[in-house]
Amino acid sequence: MKNIILIFILFSSTIILSQSKEERADDNFKEFKFDAAIKLYEDLAADKKKPSLHIIQNLADSYFNINDYHNAKKWYSRLYTIQGKNIEEGNLIKLVQCLKVDLETEEADKLLKEFYTKPEKLKMILAQKAYLDSISKEKPKYKIENLTFNSKKSDFAPYLYTNGLVFTSARDTAKSNKIYPWNKQPYLDLYITNPNQKDYVPEKFLENLESDFHDATIALSWDTKTVYFTRNFIKKNKLTANSDGLSNMQILKGTIVDNELTNITSLSFNSEDYSCGHPAITADGNYMYFTSNMPGGYGATDIYRVELNSSGDVGKEPVNLGPTINTRGREMFPHVVDDVLYFSSDGHYGLGGLDVFASAILQESEFSLPLNRGEPINSNMDDFSYIREVASNNGYIASNRAGGVGDDDIYYYEGIKPTDCLEYSGNVFDKKTGVQLRDATVEIYDSEEGLILVTKTDMEGYYNFILPCNKTNKLVFSKNDYSKQSVTVTTDENPKEPSANNKVYLTPLESLIVKDNGVEKIKVEPIYFDYDKYNITTRAELELEKVLFVLTEFPDIKIKIESHTDSRGKDSYNLKLSDNRAKSTRDYLISKGISEYRIESANGYGESQLRNECSNGVRCSEQKHLVNRRSDFIIVSK
């Protein structure tokens, strides 16, 4: 994991004499020589009863950056002891991750609840915890295996290519004489292998792609002719640096012709002042997701999205995915399949280190609560660069978990076929506002056995369950003061791949009613009758469908019907006409299946309850008379 950081320092050749031990430690820290920095900082800490916050901070960060989470925990804990709730959020997140790596989950949860007092953030964390706790009780859904082509160095960022698997590696190459100081490994290169042939020796990807520095993490256009990849800023085969002495990373674009890379260009949003990397292209080629530490983000690294034009070039400015996805920690390695964003994070609630999360893309700039993929996809160490095969539930992931061959290894995960038939999941939304509905009820009925399961949606309106094989299943979604929605799912005798992102919309009752002087009525336009008649017209049926919908979807509602006329005509005649119209409306609703007891009364009031000045003898426009010709469907109980 140490290889995937997005910045690299350009060393100074100036020799500085008479430096103090702390100055030498700081220089090593700034140059990513963390092993050397740790030795000096530890000596300084041992010499002082109360080492400075600067020494404690850099010691903690040094251990964290070399993945020594046990020792990093010691120094982040010391920071927390000194600063308490005033500790920086980034340090708190790292301390929590270190505790989880050491399997001190209860202590980690305690710190989170103490630190996050804002209801929205705490609600988000608790919802993620509840989901992770629930799936941890289930049988494993995947089996995972280490692949034979992994080396003793770092191997990560797998990418499915037409004739194999492309990945990023620091294995020994011609670059071995140049060492990346962060982890004392060679710079990164791109390789291609055939994961199905165990004796296949990985080869360099493209004949002329390699530079003398980092070449990593690729993405390809749908036709595999355009490639995007991550590389240092280089000029005349030398690293270029910004004003702070940093050589950052950029995303380059090129064209593949006869296994060679041509027309290499830098994307317009790149800058020597920050890093961009880990590109991911959507299946339609319209968007690129990527990782960056550009100014204005939420944390150490954030995920952004940028629109691509038909030629694969950048259109508008990149857009940060916002606080639902990005945190004060690290969000990295985006991957999009079937309107689901997968990414790695150490800022969301996880098992330790970087974990893989999934978030449904609801609209262009809206995402569902990121949910942890659970074990064995995630571990208590770093799990990242997750990809999924589009046509299956299988894929690849990189991890530095225990038992690997090298620093970071690539693993293949395969979905375990369920003993039941189909994993079915999605979200329930408010049809009017588009907001996810928590605690919505999901009832599952079998055509033979009746009700077989009742479950609830989580904080983000998410539901997930397994349907039995060879059955016709009726799913009924409901929530108090909302309409119901039924879905029929038929399964055959063979288990199927999961059916995800199934969206259900429930209509809120409040959007179907109005209040008139404190009285609740079903919201309808005027019910039109032919002149001097009271039979239900086609136009009237359209509005009465709204009344039928409310009475059908909300079976506890009872109403009374009140019909009114305008003032034209004799009072007695209007009274009789309106009463006939009220009763005709009642009879229509009953004929459509509404029980008689749910219509408390149906009465006409003629012209006795006019809504304006248009009484007998007053000249009014047709529009004003229309206001008085109405039928009200008053809610008497619900």
- Token duo for residue 471: 């059955």
CB 92 within 8 A of CB 346: no
The whole-number pLDDT of residue 244 equals 56
Do 525 and 488 share a structural domain? no
3-state helix, strand, coil in the chain (%, to 5): 25, 35, 40
Residues 1-57 have pLDDT tens digits of 444 445 443 444 344 445 788 888 888 887 778 888 899 998 888 888 788 999 899
CB 55 within 8 A of CB 61: no
Cα–Cα–Cα angle for 423, 427, 428, nearest 5°?
Answer: 130
By three-state DSSP, how is residue 312 classified? coil
The whole-number pLDDT of residue 242 equals 57
CATH of the domain at 459: 2.60.40.1120
Which of 78-92, 104-118, 299-313, 454-468 has the highest mean predicted lDDT (pLDDT)?
299-313
The whole-number pLDDT of residue 26 equals 87
Cα(98)–Cα(93) distance, integer angstroms: 9
Q: Is residue 90 part of a domain?
A: yes
By three-state DSSP, how is residue 101 classified? helix
Do 570 and 502 share a structural domain? no
Residue 246 C-alpha from the chain's centroid? 32
CA distances from 136 to 139, 374, 624, 626 (A): 8, 7, 65, 63
CATH of the domain at 548: 3.30.1330.60
Residues 439-480 have pLDDT tens digits of 899 988 877 667 777 888 888 899 988 888 888 889 999 998
CB 5 within 8 A of CB 187: no
- Whether 253 has a pLDDT exceeding 60, the answer reads yes
Question: Per the structure, how many domains does the chain have?
Answer: 3
Cα(344)–Cα(372) distance, integer angstroms: 9
Q: Is residue 45 part of a domain?
A: yes
Do 516 and 504 share a structural domain? no
Which residue, of 509, 525, 556, is where some domain finishes?
509
Do 530 and 485 share a structural domain? no
Which residue, of 488, 509, 530, is where some domain finishes?
509
Q: Is residue 307 part of a domain?
A: no
Q: Is residue 187 part of a domain?
A: no
DSSP 193: E
Do 110 and 56 share a structural domain? yes
Q: Is residue 252 part of a domain?
A: no
Do 107 and 94 share a structural domain? yes
- Whether 418 has a pLDDT exceeding 70, the answer reads no
Positive or negative, the CA dihedral 264, 387, 409, 162 is negative
Q: Is residue 533 part of a domain?
A: yes
Do 482 and 522 share a structural domain? no
Q: Is residue 324 part of a domain?
A: no
CATH of the domain at 30: 1.25.40.10
Which residue, of 509, 541, 571, is where some domain finishes?
509
Per-residue confidence band for 322, with pLDDT thresholds at 50, 70 and 90 = very high
CB atoms within 10 A of CB 283: 12
The whole-number pLDDT of residue 159 equals 95
Domain that holds residue 632: 512-637
Residues 543-582 have pLDDT tens digits of 888 899 989 888 889 999 998 888 888 888 889 888 988 9
Do 9 and 131 share a structural domain? yes
Burial class (CB in 10 A: 0-12, 13-18, 19+), 64: buried
CB 370 within 8 A of CB 386: no
The whole-number pLDDT of residue 307 equals 94
Do 562 and 501 share a structural domain? no
Q: Is residue 386 part of a domain?
A: no
Do 516 and 464 share a structural domain? no
Q: Report the range of poorest mean pLDDT among 140-144, 351-355, 527-531.
A: 527-531
Do 474 and 438 share a structural domain? yes
Cα(506)–Cα(433) distance, integer angstroms: 10
Do 492 and 618 share a structural domain? no
